[in-house]
Structure 1
Amino acid sequence: MPFDIARTRAAYPALSEGFVHFDGAGGTQTARPVIDAVAAAMGAAIGNRSSAFVPGRRSLDLVAAARSAVADLVGGDPGGVVLGPSATALTYTLARTLGATWRQGDEVVVSRLDHDANVRPWVQAAAAAGATVRWAEFDRVTGELPAGQYEELVSERTRLVAVTAGSNAIGTAPDVAAIAKTAHAAGALVCVDGVHAVPHGPTDLASLGADFLVTSAYKWSGPHLAAMVADPARWAALRPAKLLPSSDVVPDRFEYGTPSFPLLAGVAAAVDHLATLDPDATGGRRGRVVAGLAAAQAHEEVVFERLLAGLAAHPAVTVYGSPVRRCPTVSFRVAGSSPAQTAAALGAAGFCLSSGDYYAYEYFQTMGLRDSGGAVRASVYHYNTVDEVDRLLAELDRLAGPGETMAG
């Protein structure tokens, strides 16, 4: 059946304020079931984790439920889900832990297409160990990240390859499976940044070939928490720096401090919400999540195609990148206006778009755009509509002035 956009939008209370949200890449609005789950958890008696009393057992249950939900989201094992405050924090934890085992002469491969959270932790860990960093380059015209270059970048000295499953700047979806195959053939581990990709379609850890995959709940209708997922055996082989009294079991030993139990309730509720996006889906939660995200992806592609075509046809707009496989995200500039000025003008009209480099530091540095303000980013989420796209394009017409309207 067609994607029920009215039903979908009704689940997001914030949309009633009337803003047009094309900033999902920076964080989506929160679904009502998530809000309700967090509120219910905050209103209940909760203690720190303990099996000795009911409030303590509730906390244990909330942690377990969040791990199980994330596992269903990405096709992982609940015992391999490490929870944390952000993708950046979790990647730093992993980088420091793995980096402690590296030696001079070891190598790490990172990409100039990635969010800095999947670059800088590895670069810094390599520097601390005396390891060498090798860079995968993107095509400056298309924005593609050619998988073939990894045949030359990866060697028997490579310890880790870090790559994004979806660029948060221009949407490029690299062939992660092919890159991982090359890395694994050399005995290297693969850390995949799934923060931008996971919200926009079904994800399967095994199919990607990811040894580690990180995702952030606030990019898929949830609260500001993140998770890094791996095989439990992979975590068991690692020894992070930790407090002596803290748990030494997997995955707990990779989590620092007491978590926000109410927000963990929101993580589970967010995955449950994604499982409702296709109301005809049946069976277990994993299958319903896959079906729901596939339905949402089909809707997003229609909306995004309208947006991309409109931007490309506008004589005053420059669009960056044209990757064949991509998440529904695009960066652009409007002639005669800095990215910050464009975003502010659109914001004054009720449109929410980001400007700057959005932490895609290497991409904008390589493109020579960072020092002059980066670009404006528009990203589509499953609550966006074709009507919202048309309104945005009309507003860009108005901002561009006479003679600079949409072609066709």
Structure 2
Amino acid sequence: MPFDVASFRAGFPSLASGIAHFDNPGGTQTPAVVGEAIARTMTGPLSQRGAATVSQRNAEEVVAGFRSAVADLLGGVPEGVVHGRSATALTYDFSRTLARTWVPGDEVVVCELDHDSNVRPWVQSAERAGATVRWLRLDPDTAELDLSSLDVITERTRLVAMTAASNLLGTRPPVATVAARAHEVGALVHVDAVHHTAHAAPDVAAMGADFAVCSPYKFFGPHCGALVADPDLLETLRPDKLLPSTDAVPERFELGTLPYELLAGATAAIDLIDSLGTGGTRRERLVAAAATIAEHELRLRLRIEEGLAALGDRLTLHSRAVDRTSTLFVTLRDRLPVDAYELLAKRDVLVPAGTFYAYETFRALRLPDDSGLRIGLAAYNDDSDVDRLLEGLTDVLA
């Protein structure tokens, strides 16, 4: 069944603003059903979790619903889903916990394709433990992972941290290949699936991820994060926590009272994606929906790439990987990116400039900071958005 983008857009009140949003990798717009779920949870009977009253049961159901929905989206199990304030906060928390067992001589491997939230926590934890940091390299000519750099994974490696999709270039590296190499030497694998989950329904087992994080606000939900892992692995980890708080997994890793309204909003966002799919189980429907959305985004991406090519050498497209999301990073020849961003914004076309926290990717590409524009598609973008983008870029660069 073809994707009805007009019907989908109608569920997003904010799109009535007339803004053509290409800032989606930084966070998507929020549909009415998510806002309604948040408001309904906050204003309905709600208490600390328990079973004695409807307000307590509501809280229990919201938490269980969130864990089940996230597990279905990422191919995990509800008992292995941990809520966090953000993917960055979760990565910091788990890096500190895992690093307690690291000693001088151990090694940690990070990747040049990553958002800094999956680099700096591991680098800082390794430095405190006296462990050595090694790098998986980006090939700047192809925007692909340099597979020759897999040699940095050795018997001394304790953890490999890498992205499932670059938030700057869209590149999807071969995570399963890297994870298999890491597991051969007994290392754990932490996958940043934030950008990837916005364009797919990941399978943490197929990726070989021991830990995977995502952010619901990248796929129509509220601002929070989630981590998915095997509950048996979580049982082996001892984070800092308050003495009276539960030691049960996954609650062991969730500090303080959970924001029930945000959990309900995240579940509503996943259910919205689910409504676009077909199949017997929610996991099957989410996979089908992701494929439908990806096909829609790819068609728009190819239109944009054709339009960018028509602009000739006035810009350079750095998103070149064979397997990538519908996210494009471009640098301009005769315009400062911030000037182009401001001129496009005056037309209500939102294409941000910056580094987007992809600090190491900029270094690997040998580009100065804030030297380009990122064009990121979401399911609610349509052909009229693309028309306005290409017309605006043509005028800005003329």
Q: When the two structures are superposed, what TM-score results if normalisation uses the length of structure 1?
A: 0.95
Q: 1:236 is aligned with what amino acid? A: E
Gaps of 5+ in 1: 402-408
Determine the structure 2 residue equivalent to 1:220: 219
Q: 2:29 is aligned with what amino acid? A: Q
Q: Shift in Å at residue 113 of structure 1?
A: 1.0
Contact 1:108–1:159 under 8 Å retained in 2: yes
Secondary structure, in 3 states, of the residue corresponding to 1:268?
helix
2:336 to 335, 338, 360: 338
**For the residues of structure 1 that align with 2:356 and 2:272, how far apart are their CA atoms?**
27
1:382 to 379, 382, 385: 379
Determine the structure 2 residue equivalent to 1:289: 286
**For the residues of structure 2 that align with 1:311 and 1:251, how far apart are their CA atoms?**
46
Residue correspondence of structure 1 range 104-183 to structure 2 within 5 A: 104-150=104-150, 152-183=151-182
Secondary structure, in 3 states, of the residue corresponding to 2:198?
helix
Determine the structure 2 residue equivalent to 1:362: 360
Residue 392 of structure 1 pairs with residue 389 of structure 2 = yes
Q: Shift in Å at residue 148 of structure 1?
A: 4.2
**For the residues of structure 2 that align with 1:133 and 1:313, how far apart are their CA atoms?**
43
**For the residues of structure 1 that align with 2:181 and 2:306, how far apart are their CA atoms?**
35
Contact 1:200–1:293 under 8 Å retained in 2: yes
Percent identity for Structure 1 against Structure 2: 48
**For the residues of structure 2 that align with 1:22 and 1:216, how far apart are their CA atoms?**
18
Q: Shift in Å at residue 313 of structure 1?
A: 2.9
**For the residues of structure 1 that align with 2:295 and 2:324, how far apart are their CA atoms?**
13
Residue correspondence of structure 1 range 32-111 to structure 2 within 5 A: 32-111=32-111
Large movers: runs of 4+ above 6 Å: none
Q: 2:389 is aligned with what amino acid? A: L
Q: 1:329 is aligned with what amino acid? A: T
**For the residues of structure 2 that align with 1:101 and 1:370, how far apart are their CA atoms?**
37
Q: 1:378 is aligned with what amino acid? A: I
Q: Shift in Å at residue 77 of structure 1?
A: 0.5
**For the residues of structure 2 that align with 1:313 and 1:153, how far apart are their CA atoms?**
41
**For the residues of structure 2 that align with 1:57 and 1:370, how far apart are their CA atoms?**
53
Q: 1:176 is aligned with what amino acid? A: V
Determine the structure 2 residue equivalent to 1:299: 296
Alignment length, in residue pairs? Answer: 397
Q: When the two structures are superposed, what TM-score results if normalisation uses the length of structure 2?
A: 0.97
Determine the structure 2 residue equivalent to 1:260: 259
Determine the structure 1 residue equivalent to 2:25: 25
Q: Shift in Å at residue 39 of structure 1?
A: 1.3
Contact 1:141–1:321 under 8 Å retained in 2: no
Q: Shift in Å at residue 323 of structure 1?
A: 0.6
CA RMSD of aligned residues (A): 1.2
Q: Shift in Å at residue 245 of structure 1?
A: 1.4
Deviations 1:238-271 (A, max 9, x none): 0011111111110011111112111111111111
Determine the structure 1 residue equivalent to 2:207: 208
Contact 2:349–2:388 under 8 Å retained in 1: no
Greater alpha carbon shift after TM alignment, 338-347 vs 266-275: 338-347
**For the residues of structure 2 that align with 1:284 and 1:36, how far apart are their CA atoms?**
25
Greater alpha carbon shift after TM alignment, 342-351 vs 80-89: 342-351
**For the residues of structure 2 that align with 1:319 and 1:294, how far apart are their CA atoms?**
25
Deviations 1:372-404 (A, max 9, x none): x23110011111123311221111111112xxx
2:315 to 317, 334, 341: 317
**For the residues of structure 1 that align with 2:283 and 2:157, how far apart are their CA atoms?**
34
Determine the structure 2 residue equivalent to 1:196: 195
Secondary structure, in 3 states, of the residue corresponding to 2:263?
helix
**For the residues of structure 2 that align with 1:370 and 1:348, how far apart are their CA atoms?**
26
**For the residues of structure 1 that align with 2:64 and 2:148, how far apart are their CA atoms?**
40
Determine the structure 1 residue equivalent to 2:8: 8
Secondary structure, in 3 states, of the residue corresponding to 1:355?
coil
**For the residues of structure 1 that align with 2:256 and 2:350, how far apart are their CA atoms?**
34
Secondary structure, in 3 states, of the residue corresponding to 1:196?
helix
Secondary structure, in 3 states, of the residue corresponding to 2:162?
strand
**For the residues of structure 1 that align with 2:53 and 2:354, how far apart are their CA atoms?**
49
